[in-house]
Amino acid sequence: METKDIAPTLKKIYKEAGDFLPLNGTDYVEFYVGNAKQAAHYYKTAFGFQDLAYSGLETGNKETTSYVLQQDKIRLVFTSPLSSKHPINEHLAKHGDGVKVIALWVDDATKSFEETVKRGAKAYMQPTKEEDETGHTIRSGIHAYGDTVHLFVERKNYTGTFLPGYKTYKSTYQPKPTGLRYIDHMVGNVDWNQMNVWVEWYQKTMGFINLLTFDDKQIHTEYSALMSKVMANGNGRIKFPINEPAEGKKKSQIEEYIQFYEGPGCQHIAVATDNILQTVQDLKSRGVEFLSAPPKTYYDDVRVRIPNVKEDIDTLAKEGILIDCDEDGYLLQIFTKPQQDRPTLFFEIIERHGAQGFGAGNFKSLFESIEREQALRGTLDK
């Protein structure tokens, strides 16, 4: 099971030594996509995100088009290049649609940059002041796994809608939200033997702690395996599990991801809801596809293993929602199929009732479900 051992000790260390990289939360997640207009339409229609801001030819941006969508505390940006000469094309040709920027909200983007670069992070964006009539922001950035980057966003002197260069945008087409509230965690897939390299990188350069560890003895099915370590920042608002493949009889989902993303990258974004049943029913009615439900025996087992679930188990079973628990409570979760043509990024919908874990008790049934999809794609056999 999950080991939750060192967190209290490390939290004490933070308290005494101070957190050199205080993070207020996730600021936004930026995707590089082939057609930002259509991607934004999909995430509005299917997931219920709302229009927030726009940058493109009409705002004087001749290089790229970006649509910014919001649902409660979650902000997603979809960006496409406007010509074949733009460097974003290289990212798109290699990775397909995917997450480029995991932006973190900070009080001091200059200090965040200096502290992380001093500890070995590779600079991506020098601290840059951007301004408009409502004030200024400062953004800076560092390279993380693969071509993914972290930007630090300082907005304490800014009252505009999103960032300078963007205008407020609201089209007449406004599908309702689906109850998604905030980003719970974002998972990175890295290559063979690279998990500990990135775990150490998050420890050293960003001051994160290794909150939980799962080895391949815990995360495996009959056919495939992976290893995972959960990294969290000092206040626990940012959680980045890091996965790497492990040896199995067949090809693991992490290998499949690395093959199709052509390198390491963001595997899934877990978004929290207060009412997973309603959210999932809503998402399904809008065309979001989820992994197949586990067998009936899974729910028979849940009734014994987790007796205090408030929701009706039969209803959860009907929707294919998974249930797990730790000593602090239980959680409900479900996983979408990949959200683009390549079998790469997907979403997790999660509702926590106290539990702080990531659903380790569900890994086996989840991975068996993914393996059924891999078999259909012909990517399970080595």
Q: Which residues would be at the binding site for Fe ion (CB under 5 A)?
A: 270, 348
Distance separating alpha carbons of residues 329 and 348, to the nearest angstrom: 19
User: Nearest approach, Cβ of 244 to Fe ion (angstroms)?
Assistant: 15
Contact predicate 241/228, CB 8 Å: yes
Q: Which is nearer to Fe ion, 39 or 270 (CB)?
A: 270
Distance separating alpha carbons of residues 71 and 177, to the nearest angstrom: 7
User: Nearest approach, Cβ of 242 to Fe ion (angstroms)?
Assistant: 12
User: Nearest approach, Cβ of 332 to Fe ion (angstroms)?
Assistant: 13
Residue nearest to Fe ion (CB): 270
Contact predicate 164/129, CB 8 Å: no
Contact predicate 350/184, CB 8 Å: yes
Q: Which is nearer to Fe ion, 96 or 188 (CB)?
A: 188
Q: Which is nearer to Fe ion, 348 or 368 (CB)?
A: 348
User: Nearest approach, Cβ of 187 to Fe ion (angstroms)?
Assistant: 6
User: Nearest approach, Cβ of 270 to Fe ion (angstroms)?
Assistant: 4
Q: Which is nearer to Fe ion, 100 or 268 (CB)?
A: 268
Distance separating alpha carbons of residues 279 and 368, to the nearest angstrom: 24
Q: Which is nearer to Fe ion, 66 or 221 (CB)?
A: 221
Q: Which is nearer to Fe ion, 246 or 334 (CB)?
A: 334
User: Nearest approach, Cβ of 27 to Fe ion (angstroms)?
Assistant: 20
Across 242-280, b (16+ Cβ under 10 Å) vs e yields bbbbbebebbbbbbbbbebbebbbbbbbbbbbeebbebb
Distance separating alpha carbons of residues 198 and 282, to the nearest angstrom: 37
Of 167, 168, 109, which is closest to residue 140 (Cα–Cα)? 109
